[in-house]
Amino acid sequence: MRRKYIYICIMLLGSVSSAFAQSIDQIVTLSTEQYGTTARSAAMGGAFGALGGDISSININPAGIGVFQSNEFSFSLGMFNNIDAETKYGGENRNANKNYINISNWGFVSAIPVERGNSSLINLNWGISFNRNADFKGVSTASLRNSKSSRTDAYAAQATTHNILLDSLRFGDEGYNPYYNPNNPLNSNLAFQGYLIQQKTDNGGNIIDGQWSSILPQNATVDQLISKNTTGSINNYTFSFGGNVNHKLYFGASLDIKDLHYEEQKTYSEQGSDNLKRFTHTEVLNQNGTGFGINLGLIYRPTNDIRIGAAFHSPTYYTIKEDYYGVMDSRVIYENKEENVNEKSPMFRGEYKLNTPLRINTSVAFIIKRHIIASMDYEYLNYGNATFSTKNDVDNYDFTETNNDIQQIYKGVHNLRFGLEYRLRENYYFRGGYQLLGNPYEQYIEGYNTPNSDGQIASKNKHYIISAGVGYRTQKFFVDAAFTHDYSTENYYQYAEGVDNYYTESPQTETIWTKNRFLVTVGFRF
């Protein structure tokens, strides 16, 4: 039952044309934002929706700009960022990690007092800020001596389920290129050119059109090595405006301009069994895009010790350009002779639109005896509401099935953020925070999740962030430091394709991601 369901989903996802490499699993990658880009807000778990008065709080609730009573400039540097991936694949463990430094945030707010007269308006403020909303740097690797399946089985199953005929995979004398045939999956093309799959035959030795098998015999043992390396970021430039009404109501609006860069390289290798000496399959994807969104927010103080906040974030409307290609380097024994192939597909380029889901934030904060701040933010967004579309009416690509799949695969999530700050004496602060982030994937049969476009099954089963920090603040100057520990787990299959006699899947892979960050913010008030 589960296999049949997975097959149906793969067929749907496999319908995406080679003109577009975008995959449904990119929805989470491009729609998730990192809150807490200054050290103070990071230490308090990004729970700043009802507090304001911090440059990065404007990115959470634009009404936070109305809380500022003086001009302010701050700069935040991620002095240490470490990403570690512990991967368990079929009982074998591997670790990979990456370290880097980045600029997390900078911003300026101008607080403009308003002549009171009969007006209750205290301030009208404006600001500009930069936030590193997402950082895509990461590396993972997995290995296994596998006698149950090979990735070549998945290539063959993919070609079979798409009913690919031999002639459609051959280069033609009149300029026919099989890579530009929209019915041919890229991986099937590369596998055929690399002599990794062959046509099936019946008991009489007759070829069965449209059915394929691996060149490996059944239950052959192969040494598998898989690695993935990603880099890039989403940089958010925010232009904000807001005000303060009688120190009771704060309002704000902002325009986000987002700059997207994403690079991904996946490498799959197998070697050491019968007629397969080795092969290495590399996939390279580059995405660049720009997007914009509008945010609105309010903060209300029913008493001096309580603040309540609410914010609305529109979808981000992206226009994305991408290019991608695949490389197959293989060495096999084919028809009793050794073949060495290094095949590179053409560079495919596409341009399309992506609308991420809107998000709603509500928050509350308590100030206790002027020495303790306790805050909580609740955020809701539905990843199933994300949509792909063509860039203009001239394009004839239909994203209807892709968008239907998004609605079935993804769901709404409830994210909670908690923060605590304690002021010791006049200038010294100690902080802590916790974030609990929801699983965006719908759960299906036997607890598994729907495969993504590579035939993998992705599931962020657990995701939380623990943080702590300290600060020193005067009326004119402040410096804050924070440490965050981000923990998440992900379960998936390296490959899963086909149905019935053609079905194959890898053992399940579990990756435990830990991301540690040390952040420092320096700011000036004037």
* Residue 446 pLDDT: 35
Looking at 19-33, 156-170, 276-290, which range is the least confident one?
19-33
Q: What are the distances in angstroms from CA 317 to CA 20, 164, 294, 360, 387?
A: 18, 37, 10, 17, 10
pLDDT at residue 342 is higher than 60: yes
Looking at 81-85, 204-208, 212-216, 499-503, which range is the least confident one?
499-503
**Cα 200 from Cα 216, distance rounded (Å):** 12
Percent of the chain with pLDDT over 70: 90
Looking at 114-118, 279-283, 418-422, which range is the least confident one?
114-118
What is the CATH classification number for the domain harbouring 291? 2.40.160
Tell me the pLDDT band of 501, cut-offs 50, 70 and 90. low
Which tens digit of pLDDT belongs to each residue from 451-481? 333 444 445 568 999 999 999 999 999 999 9
Cβ atoms of 260 and 188 within 8 Å: the answer is no
Which tens digit of pLDDT belongs to each residue from 399-410? 888 888 888 888
Q: Is residue 231 part of a domain?
A: yes
pLDDT at residue 157 is higher than 80: yes
pLDDT at residue 17 is higher than 80: no
Please count the structural domains in the chain.
1
Structural domain for 338, as ranges: 2-146+215-417+458-525
Q: What is the DSSP code (8-state) at residue 24?
A: T
pLDDT at residue 448 is higher than 50: no
* Residue 443 pLDDT: 59
Q: Is residue 57 part of a domain?
A: yes
Cβ atoms of 77 and 519 within 8 Å: the answer is yes
* Residue 13 pLDDT: 33
Q: Is residue 442 part of a domain?
A: no
Which tens digit of pLDDT belongs to each residue from 80-115? 999 999 999 988 899 999 999 999 999 999 999 997
* Phi, psi dihedral angles at 253 (to 5 degrees): -140, 150
CA distance between the termini of the chain: 66
Q: Is residue 141 part of a domain?
A: yes
- The residues with which 132 forms a beta bridge, in sequence order, are 235
pLDDT at residue 500 is higher than 70: no
Q: Is residue 441 part of a domain?
A: no
Q: pTM score, two decimals?
A: 0.89
pLDDT at residue 68 is higher than 70: yes
Q: Is residue 199 part of a domain?
A: no
Q: Is residue 183 part of a domain?
A: no
- Mean pLDDT for the stretch of residues 228-248: 96
* Residue 460 pLDDT: 53
Q: Is residue 267 part of a domain?
A: yes
Q: In terms of Cα–Cα distance, which of 459, 441, 453 is closest to 497?
A: 453
Q: What are the distances in angstroms from CA 292 to CA 255, 256, 284, 388, 450?
A: 7, 5, 27, 15, 30
